[in-house]
Amino acid sequence: MIKAIITDIEGTTSSLSFVKDVLFPYAREHMNDFVRTHAHDHDVRMLLDEVAAITHVTTDNQVIEQLLRWMSEDKKITPLKTLQGMIWEQGYKRGDFTGHVYADAARNLKAWHAQGKRLYVFSSGSVHAQKLLFAHTEDGDLTPLFSGYFDTSVGSKKEAISYQKIAQIIELAPQKILFLSDIKEELDAAQQSGMQTVWLLRDGVPGNADAAKTHRQAHDFDGFSVE
């Protein structure tokens, strides 16, 4: 019997385009203003100084140029990720956008929670960004549904050891955990750790040929049952 469900975000609870077409462009568009407005706030200053130290530049202008360059190159550098998270937080709070969660995902997450299943997130976005997204959805604040959040600080999403670690942290046998994702390599890794899996094949995501049917498949969260 499944006691806990761990879900991926992008392509699973939420559309791929939300992150790609809303969040990242928003951070890019607001980086310059945000840094100039908050350059003297302690937390922001520390991050700017960290970027300056990594890249051997001296002025805030150069730091901003570097941040913009990293964003163009889709770099996942910690101070950049932290600043992006701060900019998104501002955007969510201002109501410039809401966190996208498919209606079927929100509905089933609520139902599973009501049935006593423990819910977790495992996503490559930072835990801060995960919480922001679920706190500001069209269905309201969904964070009370979740018992915990994991990002890649626990390990790669494509390695079984990461899933073993999560199972240890949440103190459940992997066999009692169901992992949901749109990426086969992640599902393979979770399955290798002993977890059960469902492969989400959402609209617009090409149905990847899995002739061996190693994972259960569903088009949305209504398309499978959790026993």
Q: Which of residues 26-85 bind Mg ion (CB under 5 A)?
A: none
Point out which span in 2-10, 84-92, 111-119, 167-175 binds Mg ion (CB under 5 A): 2-10
182 touching Mg ion, by CB under 5 A: yes
- Least distance from Mg ion to the Cβ atom of residue 121, Å: 11
Point out which span in 4-12, 26-34, 81-89, 134-142 binds Mg ion (CB under 5 A): 4-12
Q: How far apart are CA 50 and CA 33, in angstroms?
A: 19
Nearest to 3 by CA among 120, 160, 164: 120
Instruction: Report yes or no: 176 and 148 within 8 Å, Cβ to Cβ.
Output: no
The first and second tokens of residue 67, run together, are 């941040």
Point out which span in 10-18, 79-87, 133-141, 154-162 binds Mg ion (CB under 5 A): 10-18
Point out which span in 7-15, 24-32, 124-132, 212-220 binds Mg ion (CB under 5 A): 7-15
Q: How many residues bind Mg ion (CB under 5 A)?
A: 4
DSSP one-letter string for 36-73: HHHTTSHHHHHHHHHHHHHHT--SHHHHHHHHHHHHHT
Type of residue numbered 53 = A
- Least distance from Mg ion to the Cβ atom of residue 12, Å: 5
Query: Contacting Mg ion (CB under 5 A), which of 2, 4, 7, 10?
Result: 10
- Least distance from Mg ion to the Cβ atom of residue 188, Å: 14
- Least distance from Mg ion to the Cβ atom of residue 200, Å: 8
- Least distance from Mg ion to the Cβ atom of residue 15, Å: 10
11 touching Mg ion, by CB under 5 A: yes
Q: How far apart are CA 97 and CA 29, in angstroms?
A: 14
Q: Which lies closer to Mg ion via its Cβ, residue 11 or residue 99?
A: 11
Point out which span in 150-158, 159-167, 180-188, 211-219 binds Mg ion (CB under 5 A): 180-188
DSSP one-letter string for 120-176: EEE-SS-HHHHHHHHHSBTTB--GGGEEEEE-GGG--TT-HHHHHHHHHHTT--GGG
Residues 34, 40, 45, 51: what is their CA dihedral angle, to the nearest 10 degrees? Answer: 60
Q: Which lies closer to Mg ion via its Cβ, residue 34 or residue 134?
A: 134
Instruction: Report yes or no: 160 and 166 within 8 Å, Cβ to Cβ.
Output: no
Phi, psi of 31 (to 5 degrees): -60, -50
151 touching Mg ion, by CB under 5 A: no
Q: Which residues bind Mg ion (CB under 5 A)?
A: 8, 10-11, 182
